Structure 1
Amino acid sequence: MSYAGDLTPQQAWDLLRDDPAAVLVDVRTDGEWRKIGIPDTTEIGKTPIFIEWVDNTGSRNANFVEDLKAAGVTDGPVVFLCRSGNRSVHTAIAATNAGIGPSYNVLEGFEGAVGPAGQRNVNGWKVLGLPWKQS
């Protein structure tokens, strides 16, 4: 089974803002949350959920779906966000396979792709100017 599809960061923000049931799940690592920042959804009255898909060593979280359910994510829409939109595809698929959906992947992720200068400054949640903060 696949997932509901991909959203641009702006589309993800619009869904989160406009649908009271929509939830944002940030699946990056604890280190990424602390060092790079986190999405700030306070202005739309929501709190992101933070569940690692993999840990800082690259080991996959075998309890990811159980962690989602324990955090109260049992239905959608669910918007999954990672650094660049790669890990979050896998989380959207895992959630969909567990009956949680619709589940979406955020294209470009929080930081986006690496640009010509070797920095992540060409696209993504932060580059688009969507709300974020240092955690």
Structure 2
Amino acid sequence: MIEDVSPRQVWEALMSNPDAVLCDVRTNAEWSFVGLPDLSEAGKQPVLIQWQVFPTMQANAQFMDELAAARVGREAHVYFICRSGGRSMAAALTALEAGFKHVYNVKDGFEGPADARERRGKVAGWKAEGLPWKQG
């Protein structure tokens, strides 16, 4: 079972645990145009690995190879984040099945659900919680 962890709890883990890693599984277009979590205060960078490859949105068959290439160890505490929590949950399940011991899903992701005007980033998620981020 994968635990949903609030963005604020993830931030606290990234700040306090040297073995905590944030893996952003959104597309390169999202990283560029929507923004990225800014982990510089924690002395870290997010690990950027697409779960689905833009623009075709096909599954990234090299996902686990890319996670290994990023030197994310199976004992690390890996927090997976996407736009709203769906892709990151799938990535976390895949990592768990591959033998990663501590995997988590960032609840509501980077932008969270859409508001009444169909805009994201204001209701819940990393941005809505006021956590550090920067434009790609």
Equivalent position amino acid for 2:45 in 1 = T
For 1:6 and 1:101, how far apart are their aligned partners in 2?
15
Q: C-alpha separation between the residues in 2 aligned to 1:97 and 1:105?
A: 14
CA distance in 2, matches of 1:132, 1:7: 18
Deviations 1:103-133 (A, max 9, x none): 0000100001001111112111011110000
Match of 2:32 in 1: 34
Residue 84 of structure 1 is matched in structure 2 by 84
Query: Matched residue of 1:28: which SS?
Result: coil
Structure 1: which 5+ residue stretches go unaligned? none
Q: Structure 2: any 5+ residue segments left out of the alignment?
A: none
Aligned to 1:72: 71
Residues 44-59 of structure 1: matches in 2 within 5 Å?
44-56=42-54, 57-59=56-58
For 1:102 and 1:6, the matched residues in 2 are separated by: 12
Structure with higher strand content: 2
Q: Which amino acid aligns with 1:90?
A: A
Aligned to 1:126: 127
Q: How high is the TM-score relative to the length of structure 1?
A: 0.95
> How many pairs align?
133
Distance, in Å, in 2 between the alignment partners of 1:61 and 1:31 is 15
Contact 1:73/1:100, CA 8 A, preserved across alignment? no
Q: Provide the aligned C-alpha RMSD in A.
A: 0.9
Output the TM-score relative to the length of structure 2.
0.94
Matched residues in 2 for 1:40 and 1:93: separation?
Answer: 25
- Superposed structure 1 runs of 4+ greater than 3 Å apart: none
